[in-house]
Amino acid sequence: MTRYDEQHGSLIYTFTPDAGYGVQVNSFVFNDYAQWQTLDEQMDWKLWGDSIGGALFASNSVVVPEGWLVLVETGASAYFGTVILEIDHVDGDIDGDIGMENLNRPIPSRCNSPGGEIE
């Protein structure tokens, strides 16, 4: 599920696995569309466990030069619960010349028991 959080000005992606499975977000790409504007963009992103404000297990700030594609590798492991990717457009052209694409999520991991070994 994807939604725009008007209260916080964030783009929110929510991933909810089936029982016994985990979610892993490996990477995604920020795309600052060429010849739209001439401003660099600053994007903050966070991976939360269960809810915004819950367990923060990966985050960073990325500057995306005008016209560039920037690969973001999260370094995050699988999380056995709901995972929320929160993206904030901090600086640059707020009128929409940047996108997020190529979200890389592997096949869901399976856990034999809570806190157990991943298959």
CATH code of the domain containing 63: 2.60.120
- Pick the more confident residue, 23 or 97: 23
State pLDDT tens for residues 66-101.
888 999 999 998 898 999 999 988 876 655 567 788
Confidence (pTM): 0.80
Task: Classify residue 8: in a domain, yes or no.
Answer: yes
Does residue 116 form part of some domain? no
Residues 91 and 101: their CA atoms lie apart, in Å, by: 19
Average pLDDT rounded to a whole number, residues 6-32: 84
Q: Of 39, 18, 46, give the one whose Cα is nearest residue 109.
A: 18
106 sits in the region (left: phi over 0; alpha: psi -120 to 50; else beta) called beta
pLDDT for 115? 47
Q: Which domain holds residue 27?
A: 2-108
Question: What's the pLDDT at 7?
Answer: 54
114 lies in some domain: no
Q: Count up the domains in the chain and report the number.
A: 1
In a domain, 69, yes or no: yes
| Per-residue pLDDT band at 113 (split at 50, 70, 90) | very low
